[in-house]
Structure 1
Amino acid sequence: MKPFLRIEKPCEESLEKMHDLPDGKFCDLCSKKVLDLSNLNDSEILNIIQQNKGEKFCGIVFKNQINRSLQPKISFSQNHHSRKTTFTKIAAGVILTASIFNSYPAQTKTVTKTEFVFSKSKIFKENTKEEDKTGDGNMIISGKVLIKGTNKPGPQTTVHFITPSRIYSAKTDIKGFYNLKVPKESIKAENLLEFTPEDDDYEGRLMIFNKEELFKKNAIYLAENDARKQYGDISAEGFYANEKSLVLLEGKKLDYKLFNKSLSLFSNKYEVYYIPKAFIKVFTPDEKIEDLFITFVK
């Protein structure tokens, strides 16, 4: 899941009572500017989030703009090229910093507060019960994506199998079927899959599958987005980390302050998967962690 917008408490003041501004409204009730994001693309919204340094702000959005992944369009402008050398130095520094933190090993028998629970012996025993469907050490995860309420094939959807060190992806075909090849050793007792439709009229889904469920031919149902407008305090979930966040860069722990600084300067150079608290049990048993950022340098 990429960064997304949330409105925790919609505003009760009528838009008609607010004063018009070139880029939104002004609310006399709370003496705040209300930015109109309803006609902006994801890249423009992410720029506003950066300008606000992740702080909440009042905004107007369509319902289908919230609670879904923001997908920025990457444009390598002249300005980006002029900063290439600077980015390389910072990225190198980030990776170097990450390397001196405790890494999260692919296999471990001792569970610490924020350690991945990958027992080599357990995985081996479990995998011997499964047939190698490819003959090359990989397994095939397959299923179908449908539209909720109609049972018709959904829009083309990207299916992500998310691990700390790599994301495995596949797209659905015209009939909604997907076949995703993943290494046997990456399969755990619980696994996280993301279903991201290319059509914004439908909501994406983040789902946990245990090993038995993973190899069934699952039918995944996508609901339609609500296109009505909402307004109120907008928070940008998954863009900035805090002291209760766990940040992983290429599978290794990274200081959240360093992550925030580098991401604010070069957001287009990173691929970030934001994992809310309800799903982080797949990666760590530490209940003190509020969210997880799985990050890769492009």
Structure 2
Amino acid sequence: MKAKKINYSIEEPCHEDWNQMKPEAKGRFCSSCSKTVVDFSNMSDFSIVSYLEGKKNESVCGRFRPEQMEKTYVLTKWNHSFSFDLKAVALGLALTTFSAVHVNAQVTPIDTTQVIYQEPLDGMVSVREFYDHTDEKFTGGRILLDGKGYDLVTIQLMDVSGSVISTTSPDKDGKFKIPLDWSKSKDPVSLVISGQGLISHALYFDQKESIKDMKITLYNEEIMLKGNVISR
């Protein structure tokens, strides 16, 4: 069972007049970009994720209320070859559990004597996905320098506090494998690769779709001269 967390955002809000667009079944047609702007503002959380996951390989323009952009949507996948197609939507929660949580857990009290209204956001929908790796038993990959495998480095598995959990080195081809134990009180969060004359590199697990078969390219450290400047 894997959990995928998704944030939806609109990077560049559209400034076209919604009221001037031609109404359609799913929203309104924007003549400026010749496509439908989907009205998500009255959709449920499940409907929003169902629609956007079904269109994940397409660009989608949408209209949202600001609070809909402040949520992290969580999908728990019961099968590895998960796809949010119409069949899966029809089966609903039998295949997938779903929830949505606000990014900010702390709620600021609002003066109830004021009437607050925020215009919905219109524009192209951007998606950020991050995955739960806690069923992985190891992480590994290949260290490269100038396009070739490189073994003169130290690879450290670090926890959230920056403490070293375990250390390894790659073989002569730059390949390495290091065990993961997610049952520790402090979960492993990153790999730190370092070597003499090289720029150290840190890889954080929540920034990668996969933590296996990684190709990690290292670069030579720039030589810098330090000291008093003498003019001749």
Coarse TM-score class (shorter-chain normalised)? 0.3 to 0.5
More strand per residue: 2
More helix per residue: 1
Which TM-score applies when normalising by structure 1?
A: 0.35
Instruction: Specify which structure has the bigger relative contact order, considering alpha-carbon pairs within 8 angstroms and separated by 6 or more residues.
Output: 1
Task: Select the structure of larger CA radius of gyration.
Answer: 2
